[in-house]
Structure 1
Amino acid sequence: MSICATCWTCLVDLEGLNMRHLWRPGIKAFLRMIELVGANYPETLGRLLILRAPRVIPVLWTLADSAIISTLSSLINTRSDALEGMISANALKIEGLKKTVDFVCAEVQDLKKNVKDVDSRLKDQERLTGTWETRISDLERYSRRWNLRLFGVPKTFKEDIRSEVIRICSETYPEAKSRYPDVIDTVHRLGTRGDSTKPRAVIMHFTSRVIHDALWKTAKKSQFLKDNNPRFAEDLTSLDRERWKSLWPRVREARAAGKMAYYVGARAFIEGVEIAL
């Protein structure tokens, strides 16, 4: 495990040192030693122990003492000034950072408040949208209750589809034969013209709900329709058609089991109890 050394002790044995060693090679070697120590252990010397110091050392120390103290004082002052400047600069940066953080926190609080307000408004709009969608769906469903669709009517050249629909209605429910020209308002085929061999469905709009309902009720058991293939169907909305696709298999299974099951508009019932999706 590595250990960080922050202070060290230097032990120097000066036995045999005298004036003969104080010449250029000796001083150069001494300075090299100081250079190596300063490069590898800068400003970490804790104690310097000198053993068997010759008589020249006290004299040299007295001469160098004042210079060492002056150098150390200058170094300490320089480092202190630099440290003080660094602390002041960091204090200013911290203060600026604090102001920035306070500003950001205030902005975040405002954003949270705005998001909460927007979320509340969005929920209100979703409720309002749901209400309007329900109302629009109810209005569409009500308007389609005046319609019936007719499938299996072959297309002919220059066909008079209105006359053909009135004829089929008269055969299906002859009790209103004289009134069909007046109560059947609009008749046309659905979809786009194409080369398909399957005839397009026909939709008809009634002005009398009484005759509409009577024809629809009779069509369910009409022998004429069974023999000639035309088939009446309710004009359901897209949502009601999806519900019908989900509920009709359950109605059919209930009927196969001998239960009273029927489908009215977008609602299915088994033994008088409505089936829930």
Structure 2
Amino acid sequence: MEVSMENKRKDAGSIPTTPSKIPVGKKSKTDNKEAQVSNLTILEAIQSMEKNFDKQLTQLKEQAKQSSCMIASLTKAVQFHAEEVKVCKKKINDLESQSELLEKENRELKERVREQERYKMRWCLKLKGIKEKNEENIRTDIIHLFAKIAPDIDMRQLEDAVDIVHRIGRKEDNKNRHVVILFARRLVREEIWRRSKDSPVCKERGVRFTEMLPLEDREARKNLWPQIEQARREGKRAYYRGPHGYIEGRRIG
């Protein structure tokens, strides 16, 4: 019995065994370690990126803060300069107004001074062409000339009418300086001025009376002279009155 069982076992041992299922492969400790290292590296990289991001974010915030401060400072500076410009513009406008006022006052003052000069010079006559002598008494010579121009005017009246007589300019050889006559009586001055224009005495002695005028008026008359001269050649009535010229009663220039 025991032999037969043993034989059966032997016989059974000779029969080929049925192949078993292939066992599922298990991860080795090395693979797990490598996986852990890889995950750790990724985690460290992520953490490093987060730190860099946080650092960059901090820097950006700091730069934004600095930019905000700079913008605020620039805004204040712009506002300050805008106010300064506004104040400067106001000052410039005020100065322009003052300048215009001063220019107007200056023109008015100049015209007043010029009018005073005209008024004072209306009491004077200038005589050109009278010969100059050594140790001459020019006032007496002029009064005698007036007596010949207007013989109907009393000599004593002429003496009272003539105030000051003198020559003007620097004395030069072979040159007769002009004579300025200041009258004390305006009516006598006007009468002598009127009669001298067609006086044969003046033509005979080669002398000529002219009005005393400020420089500006003389320049104005000089500019108008071509028109006055042309009008007189055409037989028109042309004359001066102060700095202005008139042709047939119409003002020119």
For the superposition of Structure 1 and Structure 2, which TM-score range results when normalised by the shorter chain?
Answer: 0.7 to 0.9
Which has the greater radius of gyration? 2
Once the two structures are TM-superposed, the CA of residue 187 in structure 1 deviates from its matched residue by: 0.8
Q: Which has the higher contact order (CA 8 A, sep 6+)?
A: 2
Greater share of helix: 2
Q: Which runs of 5+ in 2 are unaligned?
A: 1-33
Q: Which of 228, 231, 235 matches 2:208? A: 231
Q: Which of 224, 228, 249 matches 1:251? A: 228
Tell me, yes or no, if structure 1 residue 192 matches structure 2 residue 170: yes
2:218 corresponds in structure 1 to: 241
Once the two structures are TM-superposed, the CA of residue 245 in structure 1 deviates from its matched residue by: 0.5
Do the aligned partners of residues 168 and 58 (structure 1) sit closer, same or farther apart at CA in structure 2, a change above 3 Å counting?
farther
Equivalent position SS for 1:186: strand
Per-residue CA deviation, residues 235-274 of structure 1 (Å, 9 max, x unaligned), is: 0111211111012221110010121222233232211212
Q: Which of 127, 136, 139 matches 1:162? A: 139
Q: Which of 209, 220, 223 matches 2:186? A: 209
> TM-score when scaled to structure 2?
0.79
Tell me, yes or no, if structure 1 residue 183 matches structure 2 residue 161: yes
Once the two structures are TM-superposed, the CA of residue 128 in structure 1 deviates from its matched residue by: 2.7
2:20 corresponds in structure 1 to: none
Name the count of aligned residue pairs: 219
Once the two structures are TM-superposed, the CA of residue 63 in structure 1 deviates from its matched residue by: 4.8
Q: Return the letter of the residue paired with 1:260.
A: R
Cα pair 1:151 1:230 within 8 Å, conserved: yes
> TM-score when scaled to structure 1?
0.73
2:45 corresponds in structure 1 to: 68
How much identity, in percent, do the aligned residues show?
A: 31
Q: Structure 1: which 4+ aligned runs deviate by more than 4 Å?
A: 57-61
Q: Return the letter of the residue paired with 1:172.
A: I
Distance 1:94 1:140 in 2: 66
Cα pair 1:141 1:236 within 8 Å, conserved: yes
Cα pair 1:169 1:177 within 8 Å, conserved: no
Q: Return the letter of the residue paired with 1:167.
A: H
Tell me, yes or no, if structure 1 residue 102 matches structure 2 residue 89: no
Equivalent position SS for 1:232: strand
Once the two structures are TM-superposed, the CA of residue 135 in structure 1 deviates from its matched residue by: 2.2
The 5 A counterparts of 1:134-145 are 134-145=111-122
Cα pair 1:146 1:206 within 8 Å, conserved: yes
